[in-house]
Structure 1
Amino acid sequence: MSGEKKAKGWRFYGLVGFGAIVLLSAGVWALQYAGSGPEKTLSPLVVHNNLQIDLNEPDLFLDSDSLSQLPKDLLTIPFLHDVLSEDFVFYYQNHADRLGIEGSIRRIVYEHDLTLKDKLFSSLLDQPAQAALWHDKQGHLSHYMVLIQRSGLSKLLEPLLFAATSDSQLSKTEISSIKINSETIPVYQLRYNGNNALMFATYQDKMLVFSSTDMLFKDDQQDTEATAIASDLLSGKKRWQASFGLEERAAEKTPVRQRIVVSARLLGFGYQRLMPSFAGVRFEMGNDGWHSFVALN
């Protein structure tokens, strides 16, 4: 679908029950980065890299003033508050991956005697961010890219990146194809919780975090299109917003604090052909609460 056609397709339906159920699913998937329950076999994905996902077309997209505030904002919906309670926020704040990443950063800061705040990771999650997620073959949202923006970010991370030259958990990868204005942007790997790892690259006041180097590779070669997308995101181009035909949150007449978009590819579980006019759903939180929208082709 073209961006213009998608933008025209958004219709506000006020589907409180349907919207709440899907929003619950979107929120849980977004926070866990993985599904649960019985495995599902979904339709084949577009092959653009080793993970067979199209980085231009996320299954779920988050555009947030603060990712760390998303769980609490979800609880402002009466239906979700009754279902989730405060345990939902506690689960998010104490998720094993989050604690593992925080622990790894704290160890690096301590062992290398760095002058960084103790809550560096938490402070990054409290910044404006966009997150894109894709499902794997079992239907779990296990592949992700997160773009975080913070004033003075490059200067803040300098001590941490310097430690990558001599640390057991933080290292500089051999990926060299992300370029902005002829400048090669290094990609780093942070290992946590044993064998888990995430990748990240920084440029000026932006940080791009992604779940695997396979997102940027096709076979054993660095994929030109994938690395171009990474370069565009770090340089400020709005790849994902354009994919869904969205305006900037700041440009909206009513300020939007949280935005969640779920595509028909994820909600359809391979049956999109039975509902060809359905493109996805969108949820937005402003000063007057949450609103739900449906996208039609």
Structure 2
Amino acid sequence: MPSLMVDLDQPRKKAIAIMRASLPDELWRRNEAFVEHLRKLIAEHPVARHSAIQVLNDGGLSAQAMRTIHLEYRHAIVQIFTDALLAAQLQSRQLEPRLRPGAKLAPRFLLTLNDLDEFGFRPGLDADGYYRGNPTYAHYPLFERVLDDYGISLLERQTYAPSSNARSVREFLEHSYGNYLDVTVLLAAAEEEVILFSPPLRQATKAVGVDVGDGYYYVHGVSQDETAEAADDDHENDLWLILTQALTPDQYPRVQALCMRYCDLWSNFWTHQLTMAHATSHSEASTWAKAV
């Protein structure tokens, strides 16, 4: 009887190989070409070169403007990101019976690697030879501690009324939870948004005197950033590969339109943040002028 022991090294590489083997080569290559086209469209979308990126990198926004931006960003994506990941894990069941039994497990495996980071696990074994991790190091609680550093009270968080732009971004992702293709492509686009805007948000946060040497802004940013402990690039690539397995050519136009609409909403979100930040700056300048 063959041994049930298998090689547990390189888990991401093995999951990708299993997903690829679940499709005919021709379909995988066709889906892969579509995904590359979609990624190019995102790279060329206005959100990828939004003026907010430079404004944040320059540290030109006040602490009050940054408080508002963080409350808006919290509502738009931070609070619901793991909800969307878990929805994708559940809806991977839609791969069956179109693909062979068990086809949903490899994408769930990759999504779990994303979950583990989000929930506060770290690679390696603890002193007892068990998984390493701590839920207080989960990304959402870490973001809440950034709000603590900004002096935003619990009551302010609970009573904050998000803008229509923040609500639109959130609701668009939430409405995708029932469809595996939809939630997967939006998660991939959301990861791209995180990669684009987390480093500028970190710079702008540092500029107003908030410590970014640990916590949320230590685990969010481009993976190649040596000052960060992030895996956003890996997770984004995993999601595009998960989409590659799930796609069928008849869904290309709808999936592309959905993704571009989500990018439009994010672009509108950041345009609104700049508008509000400039209004805050004018108000603060006016108050200061009256005071002197």
Do both share a fold (TM > 0.5)? no
Q: Give the structure-1-normalised TM-score.
A: 0.25
Higher percent of residues as strand: 1
Q: Give the structure-2-normalised TM-score.
A: 0.26
Higher percent of residues as helix: 2
